[in-house]
A = this chain, B = another copy of it.
Amino acid sequence: MPHKRTGTIGDADKIALAHGSGGTLMRRLIEDEFATVFSDVQLEDAATLCLPLISQARTLGEGLDSGSGAGMTVKSGAGMTVKSEAGMTGEEAFGTAAAGRIAFSTDTFVVQPLFFPGGDIGHLAVCGTVNDVATAGATPLWLSVGFVLEEGFPLADLRRILHSMATVAQEAGVKIVTGDTKVVNRGAADGIFINTAGVGVLTSAHQLSAAAARPGDVVLLSGSIGDHGICIISQREGLAFSTDIESDAAPLNQLCADVLAAAPDTRLLRDPTRGGLASALNEIADASQVSIEVDEASVPVKDQVRGACEMLGYDVYQVANEGKMIAIVPAAQADAALRALRANAYGSDAAIIGQVSADYAPGRVVVRNAFGATRIMDTLVGEQLPRIC
């Protein structure tokens, strides 16, 4: 099992694989390094941003006074407004007038292998960013794409990846509008890395946030967990077992919209990718300062995934997903949200898996098994499976 490196933290002065795990070490890197230097970073899957209130008349296409000039407005007039308004997060600015709100997110994809049952790196790169934008409650509209290609990468593979991206972008209703390509010398990258960034429009005043869960809320999950992670590891060279588990990678923007329509007071949406369900729920419990109790029997897990996890010593709650969504909604809207999830092709196995409570310490996530015993659902600490996405 060459890729199993649980607990490998490494030298404290150097980047370790676990810094990319989606678990505790990654969280620490983000909080200690990135967030302290980049003080405007929003620690959500997508940033929500208020477009500045500038020159509505101009953006609406009315005549320009060429004497004052477009640039002049940018510099001296509107530019000042831009600066002050841009500093407002969606939360701060909500309630005040704004020209519009967008969600903005990015993700880089380094998955190995590049092609796997149920998808490929291109499919994943579109789905991942579409889903991150959708978790903000936004309608994803536009993607950018940045390629790093290794010298010698087969053009046929690139074409296959591009077609895959175009196909799933069309399914999701998003347009790839801008891009960049860099080529590095042989050995300086591993075939292809793809970054996507996405912009979506927030059509409602509703503010979803990892900090919005409240005791009494209900936790829903759109389907079975662990499929993507187990699919990837089953494809990796050197592993003795094989399985026909496919990646669940899928664009969930319509599913998110369906939930928001059915449960308008939805607290938050979150896709449990790197670090799995455990990392996502722990982040939510921490941000909301609540505890979350998960009913083990209600969490959908495919038999093959469960078997593979047992064989490999993985905690299925920590295995990555790429086509699942967590929704936390007020109890009164839980049934409606569940029906909406199940009515969507990507949510047919959706379930209510737990509830938000104040029964445990704030930030704690517990799992209750079929016999009523509880245990802590821990965030991944080391690296379980590098280059899962």
A residues touching B (Cβ–Cβ < 8 Å)?
Answer: 10-21, 26, 29-30, 33-34, 37-42, 44, 46-47, 49, 51-52, 54-55, 58-62, 64, 66, 69-76, 78-79, 82-83, 86-87, 94-102, 104-110, 137, 139, 141-142, 144-156, 158-159, 162-163, 165-166, 169, 173, 175-185, 187-190, 193, 195, 197, 199, 201-206, 254, 256-266, 386-387, 389
CB distance A203 to B59 under 8 Å?
Answer: yes
CB distance A15 to B70 under 8 Å?
Answer: no
A36 CB, nearest partner CB in chain B, Å: 9
A139 CB, nearest partner CB in chain B, Å: 5
CB distance B16 to A183 under 8 Å?
Answer: yes
CB distance A70 to B206 under 8 Å?
Answer: yes
A89 CB, nearest partner CB in chain B, Å: 9
Cβ of A11: which chain B residues have Cβ within 8 Å of it? Answer: 152
CB distance B106 to A146 under 8 Å?
Answer: yes
Contacts A79-B257, A105-B178, A177-B104 given; does A51 touch B49 at CB 8 Å: no
Contacts A99-B100, A100-B51, A146-B107 given; does A74 touch B203 at CB 8 Å: yes
- Of A15, A86, A257, chain B has the most CB atoms within 10 Å of the CB of A15
Bound Cα distance A144, B17 (Å): 22
Cβ of A193: which chain B residues have Cβ within 8 Å of it? Answer: 148, 182, 189, 193
Cβ of A20: which chain B residues have Cβ within 8 Å of it? Answer: 149, 181-184
Cβ of A142: which chain B residues have Cβ within 8 Å of it? Answer: 47, 49, 86, 104
Cβ of A266: which chain B residues have Cβ within 8 Å of it? Answer: 71
Bound Cα distance A243, B185 (Å): 25
Across the interface, A74 reaches (CB within 8 A) one of B18, B61, B204, namely B204
CB distance B66 to A96 under 8 Å?
Answer: no
Q: List 30 A-B contacts (CB under 8 A).
A: A14-B151, A15-B154, A16-B151, A33-B162, A34-B179, A37-B162, A40-B176, A41-B176, A41-B179, A42-B178, A52-B201, A55-B204, A58-B205, A60-B97, A64-B205, A64-B264, A66-B265, A74-B260, A75-B257, A75-B258, A82-B203, A102-B102, A104-B177, A104-B197, A108-B180, A108-B195, A110-B148, A182-B387, A188-B189, A188-B190
Across the interface, A189 reaches (CB within 8 A) one of B41, B139, B190, namely B190
CB distance B40 to A177 under 8 Å?
Answer: yes
CB distance A264 to B61 under 8 Å?
Answer: no
Contacts A19-B181, A204-B64 given; does A147 touch B82 at CB 8 Å: no
CB distance A17 to B71 under 8 Å?
Answer: no
CB distance B257 to A74 under 8 Å?
Answer: yes
Bound Cα distance A33, B107 (Å): 23
CB distance A15 to B155 under 8 Å?
Answer: yes
CB distance A152 to B14 under 8 Å?
Answer: yes
CB distance B162 to A38 under 8 Å?
Answer: yes
CB distance A261 to B106 under 8 Å?
Answer: no
Cβ of A46: which chain B residues have Cβ within 8 Å of it? Answer: 178
A121 CB, nearest partner CB in chain B, Å: 12
CB distance B15 to A97 under 8 Å?
Answer: no
Across the interface, A264 reaches (CB within 8 A) one of B71, B95, B182, B195, namely B71
CB distance B199 to A71 under 8 Å?
Answer: no
Bound Cα distance A179, B55 (Å): 30
Bound Cα distance A49, B201 (Å): 12
